[in-house]
Amino acid sequence: MSVRILVIDDDADMLAMLCRHLEQEGFAVTTVRGGAAGVAAVRAEEWDVILTDLVMDDIGGMEVLAAAREHRPAARVLLMTAFGSLETAIEAMREGAYDYLTKPVKLGEVTVAITRALEDRRLRRENERLRARVEAEHGIGRILGESKVVEAVLEQIRAVADSDAPVLLLGESGTGKELAARALHLAGPRRAEPFVPVNCGAIPESLLEAELFGHEKGAFTGADRRRPGLFLTANHGTLFLDEIGDLPVTLQVKLLRAVQEHAVRPVGSAGLVPLDVRLISATHRDLAQMIHDGQFREDLYYRLAVVPIRLPALRERPDDIPLLAHHVLDGAARRLGKALTGFDEAAMTWMTGHRWPGNVRELENVVERAAVLAKGPLVTVADLGTEFSLAGGMPSLRPTLDELESQYIRRVLDESRGDKPTAARVLGVSVRTLQRRVKVL
Ligand SMILES: Nc1ncnc2c1ncn2[C@@H]1O[C@H](COP(=O)(O)OP(=O)(O)OP(=O)(O)O)[C@@H](O)[C@H]1O
Ligand SMILES: [Mg+2]
Q: How far is CA 82 from CA 116, 246, 355, in A?
A: 21, 69, 76
Counting ligand 1 atoms within 8 A of each CB, the residue from 360, 362, 363, 416 with the most, and so the one to mutate, is 360
Cα 259 to middle of ligand 2, angstroms: 22
Residue nearest to atom 31 of ligand 1 (CA): 179
Residue nearest to atom 16 of ligand 1 (CA): 176
Q: How far is CA 218 from CA 196, 208, 224, 268, in A?
A: 25, 17, 6, 8
Query: For residues 308 and 170, is the Cβ–Cβ distance under 8 A?
Result: yes
Cα 211 to middle of ligand 1, angstroms: 25
Residue nearest to atom 15 of ligand 1 (CA): 176
Instruction: With cut-offs at 50, 70 and 90, classify the pLDDT of residue 224.
Output: confident
The whole-chain average pLDDT of the chain stands at 90
Cβ contacts of 62 within 8 Å, gap of 6 or more: 54, 88, 91, 92, 95
Q: Which among 304, 198, 199, 297 is positioned nearest to 252, based on CA atoms? A: 297
> Does any ligand 1 atom lie closer than 6 A to the CB of residue 185?
no
Instruction: Starting from the CA of residue 360, give the closest ligand.
Output: 1
> Does any ligand 1 atom lie closer than 6 A to the CB of residue 269?
no
> Does any ligand 1 atom lie closer than 6 A to the CB of residue 61?
no
Cα 252 to middle of ligand 2, angstroms: 20
Cα 417 to middle of ligand 2, angstroms: 14
284 CA: nearest ligand 1 atom: 25
Whether residue 208 has pLDDT greater than 50: yes
Whether residue 397 has pLDDT greater than 80: no
Q: Look at residue 98 and give its three-state secondary structure.
A: coil
> Does any ligand 1 atom lie closer than 6 A to the CB of residue 174?
yes
Residue nearest to atom 26 of ligand 1 (CA): 173
Q: What is the pLDDT of residue 387?
A: 55
Q: Which among 107, 115, 58, 103 is positioned nearest to 79, based on CA atoms? A: 103
Counting ligand 1 atoms within 8 A of each CB, the residue from 179, 316, 363 with the most, and so the one to mutate, is 179
> Does any ligand 1 atom lie closer than 6 A to the CB of residue 175?
yes
> Does any ligand 1 atom lie closer than 6 A to the CB of residue 312?
no
What's the CA gap between 238 and 27, in Å, rounded?
Answer: 47
> Does any ligand 1 atom lie closer than 6 A to the CB of residue 320?
no
> Does any ligand 1 atom lie closer than 6 A to the CB of residue 179?
yes
- Each residue's pLDDT tens digit, 78-114: 999 887 677 888 888 888 899 999 888 999 999 999 9
Cα 173 to middle of ligand 2, angstroms: 7
What's the CA gap between 255 and 213, in Å, rounded?
Answer: 9
> Does any ligand 1 atom lie closer than 6 A to the CB of residue 362?
no
Q: What is the pLDDT of residue 398?
A: 56
Query: Which alpha helices (H) appear in 191-272, and where do they start and end?
Result: 205-213, 229-233, 249-261
**What's the average model confidence in pLDDT over 212-224?**
88
Instruction: With cut-offs at 50, 70 and 90, classify the pLDDT of residue 143.
Output: very high
> Does any ligand 1 atom lie closer than 6 A to the CB of residue 330?
no
Cα 181 to middle of ligand 2, angstroms: 9
- Each residue's pLDDT tens digit, 22-76: 999 999 999 999 999 999 999 999 999 999 999 999 899 999 999 999 999 989 9
Max distance between CA atoms of the chain, in angstroms, equals 100
Query: For residues 312 and 156, is the Cβ–Cβ distance under 8 A?
Result: no
Q: What is the DSSP letter of 313?
A: P
Least confident of 35-49, 292-306, 409-423: 409-423
Residue nearest to atom 23 of ligand 1 (CA): 174
> Does any ligand 1 atom lie closer than 6 A to the CB of residue 367?
no
Cβ contacts of 171 within 8 Å, gap of 6 or more: 177, 282, 284, 310, 311, 312, 313, 359
Whether residue 299 has pLDDT greater than 50: yes
Instruction: Starting from the CA of residue 182, give the closest ligand.
Output: 1
Threshold 0.85, pTM exceeds: no
Residue nearest to atom 18 of ligand 1 (CA): 176
Quick one: how far is CA 153 from the chain centroid?
A: 14
Instruction: With cut-offs at 50, 70 and 90, classify the pLDDT of residue 138.
Output: confident
Q: What is the pLDDT of residue 389?
A: 46
